[in-house]
Each structure stands twice: as C-alpha cells, then as structure tokens.
Amino acid sequence: MLRPATDKYPIERELSLGLTTRAAVDELKENHGTAALLVGRIHTLPYGLRTVPNSENGAKADLHGLPLFSTDPVQRDLAVAMATDLAGISYFAPV
C-alpha cells in the first residue's frame, strides 16, 4: 500500500523500482535484500499495474496502480493479493 500524505511527506503515487540492485537500495537508510521482477510478468497480473521509466532518474522505474493505505477491508485485501502475486513472480537478487 502506498503512503497517504502526512505533514512530513507528500502522498505516494507510485513505487520506485531500481533497474539494478544498487539502484534499488541507493536511497534507503537500511535494507534487508532486494527482489527482481520482470516487467512483462508485472503487466500480466490482473490489477492493471504499469511500469514507466522514472523521468528524474534513469536508473529507476516507477510502478503505478498500487492502492493507497486504507483501513477499508476490501482495499486491504486487494493490497495483500497484489503483494502476494508480486512476491510470487519475484526472485531474490543479492546486492
């Protein structure tokens, strides 16, 4: 689920993806590993997710179509289904 707007941060509209393992973690304070996903596999999932190049960083892409954080059970179930399916098509990629 994407983060809603707060006093500290704007609303998240996409999930940033690194095109390399280094790019995937270069903006994080800590990480516990990375996973690789194939764009074609993402687009075959039944959620209308789409990936586009990041206009500000050529080493990144953006994943659009993820739900915003919600307490609504239907939205939470959708987010869990999406996360489960994305995890199912990913594989460990050591940094």
Q: What is the pLDDT of residues 27-37, one digit of tens each?
A: 999 998 899 99
Q: What is the pLDDT of residues 63-76, one digit of tens each?
A: 999 988 888 899 89
- Judged against a pLDDT cut of 80, whether residue 49 lies above it is answered with yes
Chain-centroid distance, C-alpha 76: 16
Q: Are 47 and 65 in contact (CB under 8 A)?
A: yes
User: Domain residues for 78?
Assistant: 15-93
- The number of domains in the chain is 1
Q: Nearest CA to 64 among 79, 76, 52?
A: 52
Q: Is residue 59 part of a domain?
A: yes
Q: Is residue 8 part of a domain?
A: no
Q: Is residue 50 part of a domain?
A: yes
Mean pLDDT of 12-39: 92
Q: Is residue 69 part of a domain?
A: yes
Q: Is residue 83 part of a domain?
A: yes
Region of 12 (left: φ > 0; alpha: ψ -120 to 50; beta: rest) is beta
pLDDT band at 94 (very low <50, low <70, confident <90, very high): confident
Length of the chain: 95
Q: Please report the DSSP string for 12-49 in residue order.
A: P-SEEEESSHHHHHTT-S--S-EEE--HHHHHHSTT--
**Type of residue numbered 12:** E
What is the rounded average pLDDT for all residues in the chain?
A: 92
Q: Is residue 2 part of a domain?
A: no
